[in-house]
Structure 1
Amino acid sequence: MSVKSEVSTASILDKACESALLHQGGEADVYELVCGEDLYALKWYHSGCSFEDAVVGRLKHLNIPGLYRIRESGVRDNTPYLVYDFVDGASSADIPAMPVPVALNLLRQVVHTLDALNKEDIHHGDINPSNILLCKSGESLQTLVIDCGIVGPGALAYAAPERFQGKPASEQSDLYSLGMLLFRWIAGVDLLDSGDYNKLAAQALTIDSVDVSSRLYELDCCSAQELSALDSLWKALLRAKAEDRAEDFDELDELLEIALDSIGVGEVTVQTALQKYADEVLAIKMEQKFPIAPKNEFPYRKNGGENKKNTLKIAVLAIFGLILIAMVFLVCVGTKSPDIDETGNLLLQKSRSLESVESGIENQLDSAPDSVPLKMLEDLPTPVSE
């Protein structure tokens, strides 16, 4: 992994005029950046966390429906960061349990996005509720997948067993994570619950022995018909060995379609359920969003201002140097001129005027001129030796 350590002077970070902290996560904090009429999301990684630079570099050139658009990446103040288009939606980690038809439909959307990503030979590697946003689309709901290419196994409660063993993300590991995601959406809680790395790794290795249907029955969140329809999905996704899972995203999509048919839900019924869920739950969550810290507290140092000040000072000093050189030259050449002391006094007055000009220009750095107006020196007499 090699994240670029320098950013362009045209960085979105430096163009931002407002900032607001929206979310504090385990691997990074998320900020809203305002750049004129454009809104961006900034993911500011914590120490020890980062992203796979090769994956992010490829994502910048892709425009896949249901996938976020990365606009910039790099390192600022020794901290990796990502900038992507701001999306007015809610994290699926912040919403209550979904009706089964809603969960199945939304998961199909995610599967279509991941399938398109897989065709570009890119695997997500960190499918979990926080990385799936729900957005209003007309009267329905649309999923948006974010945060591809994380270094490491990602959210441990959703990581496939092989990811704990250091293996890279794959289509099969993403399929396992989708099974965990589906359970969370339906049940409102994680299937595996532990804050200990080793315990979660051990539970993932014995996932075949977990009776998922019984867990859902105990939570009283599904009908008997729904439990039966979901059973084939758990067997295709939540398996310790990668080869025992569904073959690919296409097979999973077929299984999801069959599950919807099995519970007697047609397209019209699904859309009605999505609209109801969006109106009753998502709208409330979106209205509750607010910055968790005062605005304009940028997590990084902005570039540009000090450079302009230094450039201006150098330019003014250079002009003084040229003037002094010209005076020495003219003194050596010699023509009739006023007294040198008088010239020195006038030069001092001009230098004070230039200092005043410099102070005024520093207050308007964005419109700083390339040079100091020379008209201010037109009345300066040229001294010569008697």
Structure 2
Amino acid sequence: MKATIERATLLKCLSHVQSVVERRNTIPILSNVLIEASADGALKLMATDLDLQVVDTAAATVDTPGATTVSAHTLFDIARKLPEGSQVQITAADGKMLIVAGRARFNLSTLPRDDFPVIAEGELPTKFELPCATLKQIIDKTRFAISTEETRYYLNGIFLHVAEADGTPVLKAAATDGHRLARVTVPRPEGAEGMPDVIVPRKCVAELRKLLDEVDGTIEVSLSPTKIRFDLGTAILTSKLIDGTFPDYSRVIPTGNDKLLKLDPKSFMQGVDRVATIASEKTRAVKMALERDRITLSVTSPENGTAAEEVPGAYTSTEFEIGFNARYLMDILGQIEGDSVEVHLADAAAPTLIRENDTAPALYVLMPMRV
């Protein structure tokens, strides 16, 4: 195999695929990136961790078609350090790869391409397109609530399913870790009817979000009950789905919370952040005392002392106190884009509903803490 490619192009492709590769691998081939040069002048790069695979294609000058695999992180580091604007010549033969750019020469060991595992996609019967901005919104507004507890593996991703809301077909995305829930509702894209309920794993979500920053327009999504594929222009991301049943999260969304508090999310978030400075790392608990049009935030820490701050807000219901985990509360407030947020409360022990307004696509539920 012999091919020449511009350094910037090679670096961009490698940055897309190399982050899938785990730093510590017991299987040597999984540390490698598959490089395939075809006669039609395309260089295809592929990396996988057996659950997730990313393929990217770039234009190159191919003298001799062929394929080989080489350490992904090493090649990425080399490409990063090569002079800007240089042409990179890649030659592979007899278990070695020679990389020449300007006066720099690197000779790397390779492994045969036949050993490289490829995720077999099988049939992906459901196909639809989503605008790039919609997919970003779905990820950004839900992924902070994905659970990191490996024992509850079915919560380690974003749950996608189609439903009817007030007679309108919608696509819903939800994530929860048992303490908080985030849900986004968007119009159901054409072709998504009859789609199976799927859980997209956390790592796939993170890689997809990185790739979305470099794409515009629409993304083609293809899926089956076990696999999902995203077509992002030159890059294609394929992932296995989490094999599990996501809990019926609609049961925890409160419908009868009658106490309404309206706030400016930014100043409220800053207030929470300030008083939480002295909260102990373990509990991170902040107490909210609600009185008519007055909200007092306070923290009491046995080792650090106390902190309190009054924040403005509109509230006319009965006075009471409730506690929340400061970080969880700030994660949710950080997703509110408008200058007003509605907090629907019931009592100190019941789940609290937080949303921008009743027409906003995103909705959050936060469990209170005893303080």
TM-score w.r.t. the length of structure 1 is 0.22
Query: Larger C-alpha radius of gyration, 1 or 2?
Result: 1
Q: Which has the higher contact order (CA 8 A, sep 6+)?
A: 1
Structure in which a larger fraction of residues adopt strand: 2
TM-score w.r.t. the length of structure 2 is 0.23
